[in-house]
Structure 1
Amino acid sequence: MIIRTLTLFPKIYDMYLEQTILDRARKLNQIEYEIVDIRTYAESSRKMDDIVYGGGAGMLLKPEPYFKYFFELKNKGIKKPYTVFVSPQGKKVSQSVIEDLSKKDDILIISARYEGLDQRVIDRYVDLELCVGDIVLTNGDLPALSIIDAIVRQKDGVIKEESYETDSFYNGLLGYPQYTRPENLGRHKVPQVLLSGDHKKIEEYRFKESVKKTILNRPDLIEEKLKDEDFKRKVEKIL
Protein backbone atom coordinates (compact mmCIF):
# COMPACT_ATOMS: atom_id res chain seq x y z
CA MET A 1 0.00 0.00 0.00
CA ILE A 2 1.23 3.50 -0.76
CA ILE A 3 0.10 6.55 1.20
CA ARG A 4 0.81 9.85 -0.51
CA THR A 5 0.34 13.28 1.05
CA LEU A 6 0.25 16.72 -0.55
CA THR A 7 1.36 19.27 2.00
CA LEU A 8 2.96 22.70 2.32
CA PHE A 9 5.05 21.48 5.26
CA PRO A 10 6.66 18.10 4.51
CA LYS A 11 9.11 18.35 7.42
CA ILE A 12 6.21 17.94 9.84
CA TYR A 13 5.89 14.34 8.61
CA ASP A 14 9.54 13.33 8.79
CA MET A 15 9.89 12.80 12.54
CA TYR A 16 6.43 11.32 13.03
CA LEU A 17 6.80 8.70 10.31
CA GLU A 18 10.08 7.57 11.88
CA GLN A 19 8.23 6.39 14.99
CA THR A 20 8.48 2.69 15.77
CA ILE A 21 5.12 1.40 14.52
CA LEU A 22 4.93 3.61 11.45
CA ASP A 23 8.53 2.90 10.51
CA ARG A 24 7.99 -0.82 11.14
CA ALA A 25 5.21 -0.82 8.55
CA ARG A 26 7.64 0.65 6.03
CA LYS A 27 10.35 -1.90 6.87
CA LEU A 28 7.82 -4.73 6.51
CA ASN A 29 6.98 -3.37 3.05
CA GLN A 30 3.38 -2.99 4.16
CA ILE A 31 3.40 0.77 3.61
CA GLU A 32 5.26 3.15 1.34
CA TYR A 33 5.08 6.82 2.25
CA GLU A 34 5.36 9.56 -0.34
CA ILE A 35 5.27 13.02 1.20
CA VAL A 36 5.04 15.66 -1.53
CA ASP A 37 5.81 19.34 -1.07
CA ILE A 38 3.00 20.71 -3.23
CA ARG A 39 4.78 24.05 -3.34
CA THR A 40 7.23 22.54 -5.84
CA TYR A 41 4.34 22.37 -8.33
CA ALA A 42 3.62 26.09 -8.05
CA GLU A 43 4.89 28.69 -10.49
CA SER A 44 8.41 30.06 -10.15
CA SER A 45 7.25 32.44 -7.41
CA ARG A 46 6.06 29.38 -5.40
CA LYS A 47 2.94 31.38 -4.60
CA MET A 48 0.29 28.97 -3.30
CA ASP A 49 -2.57 31.21 -2.19
CA ASP A 50 -4.71 34.06 -3.48
CA ILE A 51 -7.76 36.12 -2.51
CA VAL A 52 -11.21 34.55 -2.38
CA TYR A 53 -13.65 35.42 -5.18
CA GLY A 54 -16.75 37.07 -3.75
CA GLY A 55 -14.83 38.62 -0.88
CA GLY A 56 -14.13 37.46 2.62
CA ALA A 57 -11.23 37.20 5.01
CA GLY A 58 -8.22 35.00 4.46
CA MET A 59 -6.54 33.44 1.46
CA LEU A 60 -7.35 30.30 -0.51
CA LEU A 61 -4.98 27.68 -1.92
CA LYS A 62 -4.71 27.99 -5.70
CA PRO A 63 -5.80 25.07 -7.91
CA GLU A 64 -2.97 25.01 -10.48
CA PRO A 65 -0.32 23.16 -8.42
CA TYR A 66 -2.79 20.38 -7.60
CA PHE A 67 -3.94 20.01 -11.19
CA LYS A 68 -0.29 19.91 -12.26
CA TYR A 69 0.45 17.16 -9.73
CA PHE A 70 -2.40 14.96 -10.98
CA PHE A 71 -1.46 15.61 -14.61
CA GLU A 72 2.07 14.45 -13.80
CA LEU A 73 0.77 11.23 -12.24
CA LYS A 74 -1.28 10.56 -15.36
CA ASN A 75 1.70 11.22 -17.63
CA LYS A 76 3.70 8.71 -15.61
CA GLY A 77 1.00 6.11 -16.19
CA ILE A 78 -0.05 6.11 -12.54
CA LYS A 79 -3.75 5.63 -11.90
CA LYS A 80 -5.28 8.38 -9.77
CA PRO A 81 -5.02 7.37 -6.10
CA TYR A 82 -8.10 7.25 -3.91
CA THR A 83 -7.98 10.87 -2.80
CA VAL A 84 -8.93 12.18 0.65
CA PHE A 85 -9.16 15.86 1.53
CA VAL A 86 -9.04 16.69 5.24
CA SER A 87 -11.45 19.53 5.93
CA PRO A 88 -13.84 20.79 8.65
CA GLN A 89 -16.60 20.36 6.04
CA GLY A 90 -15.88 16.66 5.64
CA LYS A 91 -17.49 13.48 6.92
CA LYS A 92 -16.40 12.70 10.46
CA VAL A 93 -13.69 10.05 10.65
CA SER A 94 -14.76 6.74 12.22
CA GLN A 95 -13.05 3.41 12.70
CA SER A 96 -15.15 1.89 9.94
CA VAL A 97 -13.94 4.60 7.55
CA ILE A 98 -10.34 3.85 8.54
CA GLU A 99 -10.88 0.13 7.98
CA ASP A 100 -12.23 0.85 4.50
CA LEU A 101 -9.25 3.07 3.70
CA SER A 102 -6.80 0.44 4.93
CA LYS A 103 -8.03 -1.87 2.15
CA LYS A 104 -7.03 0.57 -0.60
CA ASP A 105 -3.79 0.07 -2.52
CA ASP A 106 -3.02 3.72 -3.17
CA ILE A 107 -4.28 6.63 -1.08
CA LEU A 108 -3.56 10.32 -1.44
CA ILE A 109 -4.30 12.73 1.41
CA ILE A 110 -4.49 16.45 0.66
CA SER A 111 -3.63 18.71 3.58
CA ALA A 112 -4.81 22.31 3.17
CA ARG A 113 -4.11 25.55 4.99
CA TYR A 114 -5.44 29.11 5.18
CA GLU A 115 -9.13 29.25 4.14
CA GLY A 116 -8.92 25.88 2.44
CA LEU A 117 -8.63 24.69 -1.15
CA ASP A 118 -10.14 25.87 -4.42
CA GLN A 119 -13.36 23.89 -4.90
CA ARG A 120 -12.38 22.91 -8.45
CA VAL A 121 -9.66 20.63 -7.10
CA ILE A 122 -12.15 18.99 -4.76
CA ASP A 123 -14.76 18.55 -7.49
CA ARG A 124 -12.27 17.10 -9.97
CA TYR A 125 -10.06 14.86 -7.86
CA VAL A 126 -11.29 14.29 -4.30
CA ASP A 127 -13.15 11.04 -3.54
CA LEU A 128 -13.77 11.66 0.15
CA GLU A 129 -13.65 14.68 2.46
CA LEU A 130 -12.84 13.80 6.08
CA CYS A 131 -12.99 15.74 9.33
CA VAL A 132 -11.28 14.50 12.52
CA GLY A 133 -13.68 16.36 14.81
CA ASP A 134 -15.78 19.45 15.34
CA ILE A 135 -12.77 21.71 15.68
CA VAL A 136 -10.88 24.04 13.35
CA LEU A 137 -7.09 23.71 13.16
CA THR A 138 -4.37 25.83 11.58
CA ASN A 139 -3.81 23.29 8.82
CA GLY A 140 -4.66 19.74 7.78
CA ASP A 141 -1.32 18.12 8.60
CA LEU A 142 -2.25 16.89 12.08
CA PRO A 143 -5.51 15.36 10.82
CA ALA A 144 -3.62 13.81 7.90
CA LEU A 145 -1.07 12.25 10.25
CA SER A 146 -3.89 10.97 12.47
CA ILE A 147 -5.50 9.25 9.51
CA ILE A 148 -2.18 7.78 8.36
CA ASP A 149 -1.47 6.48 11.87
CA ALA A 150 -4.92 4.88 12.13
CA ILE A 151 -4.58 3.21 8.72
CA VAL A 152 -1.11 1.82 9.42
CA ARG A 153 -2.29 0.13 12.63
CA GLN A 154 -4.65 -2.00 10.55
CA LYS A 155 -1.97 -3.55 8.37
CA ASP A 156 -0.91 -7.16 8.96
CA GLY A 157 2.11 -7.61 11.19
CA VAL A 158 2.46 -3.96 12.16
CA ILE A 159 0.99 -4.53 15.62
CA LYS A 160 -0.37 -7.67 17.25
CA GLU A 161 -4.01 -8.30 16.43
CA GLU A 162 -4.89 -8.71 20.11
CA SER A 163 -3.51 -5.22 20.73
CA TYR A 164 -5.83 -3.35 18.38
CA GLU A 165 -8.79 -5.60 19.23
CA THR A 166 -8.90 -3.86 22.63
CA ASP A 167 -8.73 -0.37 21.14
CA SER A 168 -11.59 2.05 21.53
CA PHE A 169 -14.10 1.88 18.63
CA TYR A 170 -12.84 -1.53 17.44
CA ASN A 171 -16.05 -3.16 18.66
CA GLY A 172 -18.13 0.02 18.59
CA LEU A 173 -17.43 0.87 22.24
CA LEU A 174 -14.84 2.91 24.08
CA GLY A 175 -11.96 1.05 25.67
CA TYR A 176 -12.11 -0.15 29.26
CA PRO A 177 -9.79 1.23 32.02
CA GLN A 178 -6.42 -0.53 32.24
CA TYR A 179 -3.81 -0.76 35.00
CA THR A 180 -0.19 -1.78 35.49
CA ARG A 181 2.27 -2.09 38.39
CA PRO A 182 2.44 -1.16 41.20
CA GLU A 183 -0.66 -2.92 42.53
CA ASN A 184 -1.06 -0.34 45.30
CA LEU A 185 -0.33 3.36 44.84
CA GLY A 186 -1.11 4.78 48.25
CA ARG A 187 -4.90 4.71 48.56
CA HIS A 188 -5.25 3.99 44.85
CA LYS A 189 -5.45 0.28 44.14
CA VAL A 190 -5.90 -1.90 41.09
CA PRO A 191 -9.44 -3.38 41.05
CA GLN A 192 -9.32 -6.76 42.77
CA VAL A 193 -11.09 -8.58 39.97
CA LEU A 194 -8.10 -7.95 37.67
CA LEU A 195 -5.86 -9.77 40.13
CA SER A 196 -8.22 -12.72 40.58
CA GLY A 197 -7.03 -14.80 37.63
CA ASP A 198 -10.67 -15.52 36.81
CA HIS A 199 -10.74 -14.70 33.11
CA LYS A 200 -14.53 -14.88 32.84
CA LYS A 201 -14.99 -12.35 35.63
CA ILE A 202 -12.26 -10.15 34.16
CA GLU A 203 -13.98 -10.20 30.75
CA GLU A 204 -17.33 -9.32 32.35
CA TYR A 205 -15.73 -6.49 34.35
CA ARG A 206 -14.04 -5.04 31.29
CA PHE A 207 -17.20 -5.21 29.23
CA LYS A 208 -19.19 -3.49 31.98
CA GLU A 209 -16.61 -0.71 32.35
CA SER A 210 -16.41 -0.27 28.60
CA VAL A 211 -20.19 0.14 28.39
CA LYS A 212 -20.23 2.57 31.33
CA LYS A 213 -17.51 4.73 29.81
CA THR A 214 -19.24 4.76 26.43
CA ILE A 215 -22.57 5.76 27.99
CA LEU A 216 -20.83 8.60 29.84
CA ASN A 217 -18.62 9.93 27.04
CA ARG A 218 -20.23 8.80 23.77
CA PRO A 219 -23.95 8.08 24.21
CA ASP A 220 -24.29 8.22 20.41
CA LEU A 221 -22.22 5.04 20.14
CA ILE A 222 -24.39 3.24 22.69
CA GLU A 223 -27.55 4.20 20.80
CA GLU A 224 -26.13 2.57 17.70
CA LYS A 225 -24.99 -0.56 19.54
CA LEU A 226 -28.36 -1.02 21.25
CA LYS A 227 -29.92 -1.68 17.84
CA ASP A 228 -28.27 -5.09 18.14
CA GLU A 229 -30.64 -7.23 20.22
CA ASP A 230 -27.88 -9.58 21.44
CA PHE A 231 -25.83 -6.63 22.67
CA LYS A 232 -28.92 -5.10 24.30
CA ARG A 233 -29.62 -8.30 26.26
CA LYS A 234 -25.99 -8.52 27.33
CA VAL A 235 -26.06 -4.94 28.62
CA GLU A 236 -29.33 -5.47 30.48
CA LYS A 237 -27.67 -8.28 32.47
CA ILE A 238 -24.91 -6.08 33.82
CA LEU A 239 -26.64 -2.72 34.37
Structure 2
Amino acid sequence: MKIDILTLFPKMFAPLDESLLGKAQAKQLLKINLCDFRQYSDDKHHHVDDTPYGGGAGMLLQPQPIYRALDAINAQDGEPKRVILLDPAGRKFDQEVAQELAQEEHLVFICGHYEGFDHRIEALATDKLSIGDFVLTGGEMAAMMMIDATARFIPGILGNGTSAYTDSFAQGLLEYPQYTRPVEYRGQTVPEILRSGNHPKIAQWRHEQALRKTYFARPDLLEQVDLTSADQEFLERLAKEKEAETEL
Protein backbone atom coordinates (compact mmCIF):
# COMPACT_ATOMS: atom_id res chain seq x y z
CA MET A 1 0.00 0.00 0.00
CA LYS A 2 1.10 3.55 -0.73
CA ILE A 3 -0.04 6.40 1.49
CA ASP A 4 0.45 10.06 0.61
CA ILE A 5 -0.03 12.59 3.41
CA LEU A 6 -0.65 16.25 2.60
CA THR A 7 0.52 18.23 5.61
CA LEU A 8 2.17 21.47 6.66
CA PHE A 9 4.18 19.70 9.34
CA PRO A 10 5.96 16.61 7.95
CA LYS A 11 8.18 16.28 11.03
CA MET A 12 5.12 15.40 13.12
CA PHE A 13 5.01 12.03 11.33
CA ALA A 14 8.36 10.77 12.65
CA PRO A 15 6.60 8.06 14.77
CA LEU A 16 5.51 6.32 11.55
CA ASP A 17 9.15 5.32 11.00
CA GLU A 18 9.23 3.41 14.28
CA SER A 19 7.93 0.04 15.50
CA LEU A 20 5.86 -2.14 13.16
CA LEU A 21 5.17 0.61 10.63
CA GLY A 22 8.88 1.33 10.32
CA LYS A 23 9.56 -2.37 9.73
CA ALA A 24 6.71 -2.52 7.20
CA GLN A 25 8.28 0.30 5.21
CA ALA A 26 11.69 -1.36 5.34
CA LYS A 27 10.09 -4.55 3.94
CA GLN A 28 8.30 -2.46 1.27
CA LEU A 29 4.91 -3.64 2.49
CA LEU A 30 4.00 -0.01 3.04
CA LYS A 31 5.22 3.20 1.44
CA ILE A 32 4.49 6.52 3.15
CA ASN A 33 5.15 9.77 1.32
CA LEU A 34 4.96 13.10 3.14
CA CYS A 35 3.95 16.05 0.98
CA ASP A 36 4.38 19.56 2.41
CA PHE A 37 1.70 21.31 0.40
CA ARG A 38 3.22 24.68 1.30
CA GLN A 39 5.67 23.94 -1.53
CA TYR A 40 2.77 24.16 -3.98
CA SER A 41 1.70 27.66 -2.98
CA ASP A 42 1.71 30.26 -5.76
CA ASP A 43 2.17 32.99 -3.17
CA LYS A 44 5.69 34.44 -3.21
CA HIS A 45 5.89 34.01 0.57
CA HIS A 46 4.40 30.48 0.35
CA HIS A 47 1.33 31.41 2.35
CA VAL A 48 -1.31 28.69 2.39
CA ASP A 49 -4.01 30.41 4.43
CA ASP A 50 -6.08 33.59 4.40
CA THR A 51 -8.90 35.31 6.25
CA PRO A 52 -12.44 34.04 5.61
CA TYR A 53 -14.85 35.93 3.37
CA GLY A 54 -17.62 37.45 5.43
CA GLY A 55 -15.38 37.84 8.46
CA GLY A 56 -14.83 35.56 11.41
CA ALA A 57 -12.09 34.29 13.67
CA GLY A 58 -9.00 32.46 12.49
CA MET A 59 -7.52 31.63 9.12
CA LEU A 60 -8.61 29.15 6.47
CA LEU A 61 -6.50 26.91 4.26
CA GLN A 62 -6.66 28.03 0.66
CA PRO A 63 -7.67 25.55 -2.03
CA GLN A 64 -4.86 26.28 -4.50
CA PRO A 65 -1.87 24.64 -2.70
CA ILE A 66 -3.82 21.49 -1.87
CA TYR A 67 -5.29 21.13 -5.36
CA ARG A 68 -1.84 21.49 -6.91
CA ALA A 69 -0.28 19.03 -4.48
CA LEU A 70 -2.92 16.43 -5.32
CA ASP A 71 -2.43 17.14 -9.04
CA ALA A 72 1.27 16.28 -8.60
CA ILE A 73 0.42 13.01 -6.84
CA ASN A 74 -2.07 12.07 -9.56
CA ALA A 75 0.45 12.86 -12.30
CA GLN A 76 3.04 10.59 -10.71
CA ASP A 77 0.99 7.62 -9.54
CA GLY A 78 -2.44 7.95 -11.11
CA GLU A 79 -5.55 8.98 -9.22
CA PRO A 80 -5.94 7.21 -5.86
CA LYS A 81 -9.29 5.58 -5.16
CA ARG A 82 -9.59 7.12 -1.71
CA VAL A 83 -8.74 10.70 -0.78
CA ILE A 84 -9.43 11.24 2.92
CA LEU A 85 -10.09 14.65 4.41
CA LEU A 86 -9.66 14.83 8.17
CA ASP A 87 -12.81 16.65 9.20
CA PRO A 88 -14.77 16.85 12.50
CA ALA A 89 -17.96 16.56 10.43
CA GLY A 90 -16.81 13.32 8.81
CA ARG A 91 -17.79 9.70 9.30
CA LYS A 92 -16.48 8.37 12.58
CA PHE A 93 -13.38 6.25 12.09
CA ASP A 94 -13.51 2.80 13.66
CA GLN A 95 -12.18 -0.74 13.21
CA GLU A 96 -14.61 -1.41 10.36
CA VAL A 97 -13.40 1.65 8.44
CA ALA A 98 -9.77 0.64 9.04
CA GLN A 99 -10.42 -2.80 7.57
CA GLU A 100 -12.20 -1.19 4.62
CA LEU A 101 -9.32 1.19 3.86
CA ALA A 102 -6.81 -1.65 4.12
CA GLN A 103 -8.26 -3.14 0.93
CA GLU A 104 -7.01 -0.16 -1.11
CA GLU A 105 -3.62 0.10 -2.81
CA HIS A 106 -3.28 3.88 -2.55
CA LEU A 107 -4.63 6.31 0.04
CA VAL A 108 -4.22 10.08 0.37
CA PHE A 109 -4.79 11.92 3.66
CA ILE A 110 -5.36 15.68 3.69
CA CYS A 111 -4.51 17.20 7.07
CA GLY A 112 -6.28 20.43 7.84
CA HIS A 113 -4.94 23.16 10.11
CA TYR A 114 -5.73 26.59 11.50
CA GLU A 115 -9.43 27.44 11.82
CA GLY A 116 -10.41 25.13 8.98
CA PHE A 117 -10.30 24.94 5.20
CA ASP A 118 -11.92 26.53 2.19
CA HIS A 119 -15.10 24.58 1.45
CA ARG A 120 -13.95 23.88 -2.12
CA ILE A 121 -11.28 21.52 -0.78
CA GLU A 122 -14.06 19.07 0.08
CA ALA A 123 -14.56 18.44 -3.64
CA LEU A 124 -11.20 16.62 -3.68
CA ALA A 125 -12.20 14.08 -1.05
CA THR A 126 -13.84 10.72 -1.55
CA ASP A 127 -14.13 10.37 2.24
CA LYS A 128 -14.37 12.69 5.22
CA LEU A 129 -13.31 11.01 8.46
CA SER A 130 -13.18 11.99 12.12
CA ILE A 131 -11.72 10.24 15.18
CA GLY A 132 -14.30 11.68 17.57
CA ASP A 133 -16.35 14.60 18.76
CA PHE A 134 -13.49 16.92 19.64
CA VAL A 135 -11.21 19.29 17.75
CA LEU A 136 -7.43 19.05 17.40
CA THR A 137 -5.03 21.77 16.28
CA GLY A 138 -4.56 19.87 13.04
CA GLY A 139 -5.27 16.60 11.29
CA GLU A 140 -1.80 15.14 11.66
CA MET A 141 -2.29 13.11 14.85
CA ALA A 142 -5.68 11.87 13.66
CA ALA A 143 -4.11 10.77 10.37
CA MET A 144 -1.38 8.86 12.21
CA MET A 145 -3.94 6.96 14.26
CA MET A 146 -5.95 6.06 11.18
CA ILE A 147 -2.85 4.93 9.29
CA ASP A 148 -1.66 2.79 12.21
CA ALA A 149 -5.07 1.14 12.63
CA THR A 150 -5.40 0.53 8.88
CA ALA A 151 -1.90 -0.84 8.40
CA ARG A 152 -2.56 -3.61 10.94
CA PHE A 153 -4.83 -5.27 8.35
CA ILE A 154 -2.19 -5.29 5.60
CA PRO A 155 -0.89 -8.87 5.18
CA GLY A 156 2.62 -9.33 6.55
CA ILE A 157 2.74 -6.29 8.84
CA LEU A 158 1.73 -8.09 12.04
CA GLY A 159 3.75 -11.09 13.14
CA ASN A 160 0.56 -13.12 13.45
CA GLY A 161 -1.85 -12.42 10.60
CA THR A 162 -4.91 -13.24 12.73
CA SER A 163 -4.10 -10.69 15.45
CA ALA A 164 -5.93 -7.79 13.81
CA TYR A 165 -9.07 -9.89 13.50
CA THR A 166 -9.18 -10.85 17.18
CA ASP A 167 -8.45 -7.42 18.66
CA SER A 168 -11.03 -5.38 20.50
CA PHE A 169 -13.85 -4.21 18.17
CA ALA A 170 -12.88 -6.65 15.40
CA GLN A 171 -15.87 -8.88 16.23
CA GLY A 172 -17.89 -6.07 17.79
CA LEU A 173 -16.76 -6.95 21.32
CA LEU A 174 -13.91 -5.83 23.53
CA GLU A 175 -11.04 -8.30 23.68
CA TYR A 176 -11.02 -10.95 26.40
CA PRO A 177 -8.34 -10.82 29.17
CA GLN A 178 -5.01 -12.37 28.25
CA TYR A 179 -2.15 -13.75 30.33
CA THR A 180 1.45 -14.90 29.92
CA ARG A 181 4.18 -16.25 32.23
CA PRO A 182 4.57 -16.49 35.18
CA VAL A 183 1.50 -18.47 36.26
CA GLU A 184 1.36 -16.64 39.59
CA TYR A 185 2.47 -13.07 40.23
CA ARG A 186 1.85 -11.08 43.40
CA GLY A 187 -1.13 -13.17 44.36
CA GLN A 188 -2.71 -13.08 40.90
CA THR A 189 -2.97 -16.39 39.08
CA VAL A 190 -3.58 -17.24 35.44
CA PRO A 191 -7.06 -18.85 35.17
CA GLU A 192 -6.83 -22.62 35.24
CA ILE A 193 -8.92 -23.01 32.07
CA LEU A 194 -6.18 -21.29 30.03
CA ARG A 195 -3.66 -23.87 31.26
CA SER A 196 -5.94 -26.85 30.63
CA GLY A 197 -5.12 -27.45 26.97
CA ASN A 198 -8.86 -27.86 26.27
CA HIS A 199 -9.12 -25.51 23.29
CA PRO A 200 -12.93 -25.64 22.81
CA LYS A 201 -13.38 -24.76 26.50
CA ILE A 202 -10.75 -22.04 26.21
CA ALA A 203 -12.54 -20.57 23.19
CA GLN A 204 -15.84 -20.58 25.10
CA TRP A 205 -14.22 -18.95 28.15
CA ARG A 206 -12.64 -16.25 26.00
CA HIS A 207 -15.90 -15.48 24.26
CA GLU A 208 -17.76 -15.23 27.54
CA GLN A 209 -15.05 -13.01 28.99
CA ALA A 210 -15.28 -10.75 25.93
CA LEU A 211 -19.04 -10.51 26.51
CA ARG A 212 -18.47 -9.78 30.20
CA LYS A 213 -15.90 -7.06 29.52
CA THR A 214 -18.09 -5.44 26.87
CA TYR A 215 -21.21 -5.63 29.05
CA PHE A 216 -19.58 -3.83 31.96
CA ALA A 217 -17.30 -1.40 30.05
CA ARG A 218 -19.05 -0.68 26.74
CA PRO A 219 -22.62 -2.05 26.77
CA ASP A 220 -23.49 0.17 23.79
CA LEU A 221 -21.39 -2.10 21.57
CA LEU A 222 -23.70 -5.05 22.23
CA GLU A 223 -26.47 -3.36 20.26
CA GLN A 224 -24.46 -3.96 17.06
CA VAL A 225 -23.52 -7.60 17.76
CA ASP A 226 -25.41 -10.66 16.51
CA LEU A 227 -25.93 -12.50 19.79
CA THR A 228 -26.75 -16.19 20.01
CA SER A 229 -29.33 -17.54 22.46
CA ALA A 230 -26.41 -18.73 24.61
CA ASP A 231 -24.97 -15.21 24.54
CA GLN A 232 -28.32 -13.79 25.61
CA GLU A 233 -28.55 -16.23 28.51
CA PHE A 234 -25.01 -15.36 29.60
CA LEU A 235 -25.81 -11.62 29.51
CA GLU A 236 -28.94 -12.22 31.56
CA ARG A 237 -26.76 -13.90 34.21
CA LEU A 238 -24.43 -10.89 34.12
CA ALA A 239 -27.40 -8.56 34.59
CA LYS A 240 -28.46 -10.51 37.70
CA GLU A 241 -24.88 -10.46 38.92
CA LYS A 242 -24.74 -6.69 38.48
CA GLU A 243 -28.07 -6.24 40.22
CA ALA A 244 -26.90 -8.33 43.18
CA GLU A 245 -23.71 -6.26 43.46
CA THR A 246 -25.77 -3.06 43.41
CA GLU A 247 -27.96 -4.29 46.24
CA LEU A 248 -24.86 -4.95 48.35
- Decide: shared fold, TM above 0.5: yes
User: What residue identity is the alignment partner of 1:72?
Assistant: A
1:31-72 C-alpha deviation (Å, 9 max, x unpaired): 211111111112231212222223322221111101111333
CA contact (8 A) 2:87 2:130 kept: yes
- Deviation, 1:96, is 1.7
* Counterpart residue type for residue 93 of structure 2: V
Alignment partner of 1:145 is 2:144: yes
TM-score by length of 2: 0.86
Deviation at 1:120, TM superposition (A): 0.3
Do the aligned partners of residues 35 and 169 (structure 1) sit closer, same or farther apart at CA in structure 2, a change above 3 Å counting?
same
Whole-Å Cα distance in 2 between the matches of residues 206 and 181 of structure 1? 18
Give structure 1 stretches of 5+ with no counterpart. none
The match for 2:126 is 127
| Cα distance, 1:102–1:199 mapped onto 2, change above 3 Å | same
CA deviation profile, 1:122-163 (whole Å, cap 9, x unmatched)? 1x2011010112222221111101111112111111112232
| 1:234 partnered with 2:230 | yes
Letter in 1 for 2:71: F
Specify the alignment match of 1:190 in structure 2.
190
Aligned to 1:32: 31
Gaps of 5+ in 2: 236-248
Query: Which residue number in structure 2 is paired with residue 61 of structure 1?
Result: 61
Q: When the two structures are aligned, how many residues end up with a matched partner?
A: 233
* Displacement after TM superposition at 1:177 (Å): 1.4
Alpha-carbon RMSD across the aligned residues, in angstroms, is 1.9
Is the contact between residue 70 and residue 80 of structure 1 (CA under 8 Å) also seen in structure 2? no
Cα separation, 2, equivalents of 1:110 and 1:70 = 9
After TM superposition, the score normalised by the length of structure 1 is 0.89
Answer with 1 or 2: which has the greater Rg: 2
Is contact 1:4-1:107 (8 Å) kept?
A: yes
Tell me which amino acid in the other structure corresponds to 2:142: P
- 2: CA distance between counterparts of 1:209 and 1:55? 55
Quote how far apart the aligned CAs of 1:76 are. Answer: 4.5
CA distance in 1, matches of 2:124, 2:68: 12
Contact residue 93 and residue 131 of structure 1 kept, 8 A: yes
Cα–Cα, structure 1 residues 78 and 177, in superposed 2: closer, same or farther, change >3 Å? Answer: same
